[in-house]
Structures are given as C-alpha cells and as structure tokens.
Structure 1
Amino acid sequence: MTEDLSPYAAGTAYMDGRYMPISQAAIPITDWGYRRSDVTYDVVGVWQGNFFRLDDHIARFRASMNAFRFRPRETDEDIKAILHRCVALSGLRDAYVAMDCLRGRPPASVPYHPAYARNYVTAFAVPWVSLLNQEVMARGAHLVVAETVRIAATSVDPTAKNFHWADLTRGQFEAHDRGADFCVLLANDGTVTEGPGFNIFVVSKGSIVTPSSGVLEGITRRSVIELCGELGLPIEVRPVLVAELRDADEIFMSTTAGGIMPAARIDGRIMSNDRPGPISRQVQDAFWVRRAEGWHATPVNYAAADLPAAS
C-alpha cells in the first residue's frame, strides 16, 4: 500500500484564522482556555463522508458559547465552513470533528478580567474515535456507579459542553480500580446523571427512561428518543433513581463518539446473560440502518480542500 504523504493525512486543525496539520496545532500555556478550563466545545461525527446532524451540533455549540458568554468573530456559517474544510483537507471519510471556543487572555492594556479577553475558535478533524472498541461493544460495557458526585448544575451548567471533567475523571479512576469500563455519576440528590462523554438509558420491563436533569442534552440522545418513537418503544425523560439503574433489565449509552453503546454489567451485576440486551441491540441496529439511509446527513464538501489557504 502506498503511504499517504499528505501533511494533513493525520488530521487538520483550524486555529484563529489558519489551517494547519493537526501536529502543528497548539495554544499558549498562558491562555485561559488551558489554565482555567475556560472553554466550550462540541463534537460532530462524519461517517461515510457525511456529517451527522451538523446543524444541531452547530446550534448547540452556539448555545454553549452564549451560556458561557463567549463572543468569537466566527458566525455559525463560518464555523460550518471551517468544519467542512478541516475534513476536506484531511480527506477523511470517517472523522471525529471538534469545535472549541477559548476565552483567550486579556492583553496587558486592559483589566485582568474575563470580560476583556479575546475569544477565538479552534477546530480539528482527525480519524474516527470511538469510546468503545469492537470487542467491548460486542460483549457490552461494564459500568459502576461512582462514589464521586457530579458537579452541581448550579455551579457548572451541564447542558453547555465544558472541560470541567475533574468529577468525571475521578469517577473513571474509580471504574478502573474496580475493573470496569466506565463510571456513571449521581447528582447530590442521588439521581442518575451521566457518564464521561455519554448519556444513559435504562430499560426495565420493555420501557426506556433517560435522566432529565444534570446532563448534557446529547444530540445522539435526541436521536435515540426519535428512534424510539419510530420503533414504537415506550420512552420517558425524567429523573432516574439509582435503584432503577442498578436493577435495570438493560442499560445502554449514547454518544457522538460511538453511537449506541450497550452495557452488560452494572456494579458487577450481570444483565441479559452478560451480553447486550435485545432492546439495546434493536436501538443500536436501527441507529446505524437509519444513518446508512442518510438520516440527518450533510455531505462533506470535499471541494473545500481546493479553497485558498487563508480563512
């Protein structure tokens, strides 16, 4: 096989008005995006040359920027064009495509306050990344309920994507120490929230429920709710008690980086003969069938690779 010598083959980044190979992308270590996790972001997937729900991701990204009071110069249409060009320059057919907005840092001539920092957008496209490898996807993930409590929504709004992952990271170490794949975090009131990068769905007696608060309102989560309507599967969006999670017949997760991901164990308890359950598989299969049919698809504009180098 001929080696791809393109400098963009490993991925493409956009930073503050310029495109570059992913290996050249960097932010200053003094930037508040780095030093204070003062960033919001979103991630959209490309599969078989198509973005999935691109407009929905752009809209959520803008809502997150507004929630955290970011005001970059790029419009929604600018951001959309940037993402298309990042994928096009990379030539990727399946890609993980991220967009970030960073606070920056106030220049020396103004007060040292976030209101005076210059906000800017970055983006990148790299080969597709999945939270679960194929082996774990086939056997079903092993989950644990973490002792670490989710950061309160009154402190950090979970509906706006953010880099405040200290609770999720601590929970993941708990999962690792207990031989599990992922953690699920509870809110202060003991209700279920989410895991590191995914929403949770609990299946009991043929009905599905997903938490209504303390969570990112995932785009793939929205897709699952739509699919359940198409499939005639009962689904509720409401507070979920931890006992419901631990006693579930089935559990599955949803995320951009993996789609529908079934679980097989919770806190060591085996579900569905230690394999993904029938409803989880039904939703998972329907998701990829609909994707293959062009559901919510936006074809990547690969001709954008031929545009001038400047933004």
Structure 2
Amino acid sequence: MNQRPRVIVTRKLPDIIETRMMELFDCRLNLDDEAMSREELIAAVKEADVLVPTVTDRIDREVIDAAGDQLKLIASFGTGVDHIDFQACKKRDIIVTNTPDVLTEDTADMTMALILAVPRRLTEGEQRVRSGEWTGWSPTGMLGHRIWGKRLGIIGMGRIGQAVARRARGFGLSIHYHNRNRVYEDVEQELEATYWSSLDQMIAHMDIISINCPHTPATYHLLNRRRLQLMKSHVYVVNTSRGEVIDESALIEALTQEQIAGCGLDVYEHEPAVNPKLLKLRNAVLLPHMGSATIEGRIAMGEKVIINIRTFADGHNPRDRVIDTMF
C-alpha cells in the first residue's frame, strides 16, 4: 500500500488524533461530526484505501460490495465490530481491525455505576431534587436496596467482565459468571468467581445481572422473554455491551409487569432510537451510550487506529486484526 494511504474518517475524532492522521496519511475528516448517510458511505468506500468507521456506521454487504478494489483495510474506531459484515469483508480480502483493551476500565467503571444507580434509585432521586418534588429527609423516603452481600451474575467474563468483577468485589458482591469458555483457575481464584455452565440456571439465582458479552449472531436476544421470566422478581439487569443482546420489547414487558425490579441501560436495541415506553419507566436508568466516553479512552482508541493503519501500510499484519473466531 502507498505509504500515505487515502484514509476516510466517518466521524469527528479527538483533535490530537485528527492532527496526527493528517500528518501521516492522505486523510479526509468529518469535521461536522454528522453521521454519514448510506450514499456517503458508499461513495467513501469507492475511493478510500482505508475506511475508519465507528459503531454508528452500518458497513453491511451492500456497502462492501460497492467498494473499489483499492479498499484493503477497515480500521474501526471502537471495540465492537458487529456493525461490519465481516464475512463480506473476508470475501473481498478486506482486513478489519478494532481497538480492544483501551476501553476496559472505562466501561467497567460505567457498569459499576449502573449497578449502584439502579438499586439505590440515584437518577430518580436526582430528578426529584431538580424538579422541586423533594421536601426533605424521611425515614421511608427514596428507599432502595443495598448491594452488599448480593449475587452478581456476569454474562461474558472477558476483559470487561473481569474488570467489573474486581470492582464489584470491593462493594461486597458475590461474583458469579457464565461464559462461552471457563476462565483460567487462577482468575477464578483471584475474583472468587463461581462458574455456571448453564446460563438459565445462573440467571435464576442472581440478584443483579451484568451483560458484558459482545453482540454476535449467537448472542442476539440472549436475554429473551423466556430467560427474563426465569429471573427473580427483585433482580436488576445492567447492560453496557450491545442493545441487541436483550429482547428490548420483552424487557419492557418484564419491567412494566414488575417481573424484574429494574434495569440500567447504556445501549439500546435500535440505537440511537430509544423505545418511548422505556422513557416512561421509573425503574429504568437510561444513559446515552457513554460507557467508554472518557478523553483518555477516545485518544487511546485513535492511537490504536493509527498504529493499525501504519502497520498495514508498511506491509505487516495489524496487531488488532479481527479474526474469524469472534463471529
């Protein structure tokens, strides 16, 4: 590849990253930070050597099929790659990279914040103060539930799941997990984590459930209506992974009928659209997909994108190349 490949970036990135990209590559930036339309994405892949998309860009088969022969790398700005049709890229010999590891601690922090916020009704209390509804302290006012001594079930015990477990132990939670593969014994011992081979059995015994697995065809609607009905009525569900992992309609039904106690969501099934029924629920804490939104995290993501592009342009295999086993 040309040492100054034509790089098209679909969204605005931190200034320091954009400046470095302009120095290194023949780069076209999105200074307005408006998500590209489908027509703009198709136009971009027809001329780019490297496309730098984000989770807001749906890079499906139609977009890939429209790409010119010069497109050889999609260096995604983000950890998840479920917005990219990997098989279509593989067919066209287009390499896909992502930015793993750098968002682990930020996302785990946000997960822990939701684990605290939902049972303790933090956002509901903040809204009462701002609206003027709060009239003073009361022995029975704003009662929530303590999390100390409760069981936390983590779905997906990868880097983020383990980081959540480390935080949760400090708050006195008992750690349980379900994962495609059991983690190493020394990790289990460090986290004092109990492995459940059956997801159904685990969720039926938990007080709080945290979703930290990626969205793949195998995890689509992993928490469906049947599994939500297996849960205890006092359970809280937290999702900082991908909205598609939960059947959102079934979740709303469970919350409305008080089959479960509450939820904390940073992601949504039809993002950026949020189901209006969710907005009306007092037992739902809703955030705008900000789990990884730290300055440090975004800069680290951009640095990884740059390294991936430079490595590939130099004729080497990028370290963060996405492989088949992720799908």
Compute the TM-score of the two structures, normalised by the length of structure 1.
Answer: 0.29
The structure that is strand-richer by fraction is 1
Highest RCO, 1 vs 2 (Cα 8 Å, sep ≥ 6) = 1
Task: Give the structure with higher Rg (CA).
Answer: 2
Q: Is the helix fraction higher in 1 or 2? A: 2
TM-score by length of 2: 0.28
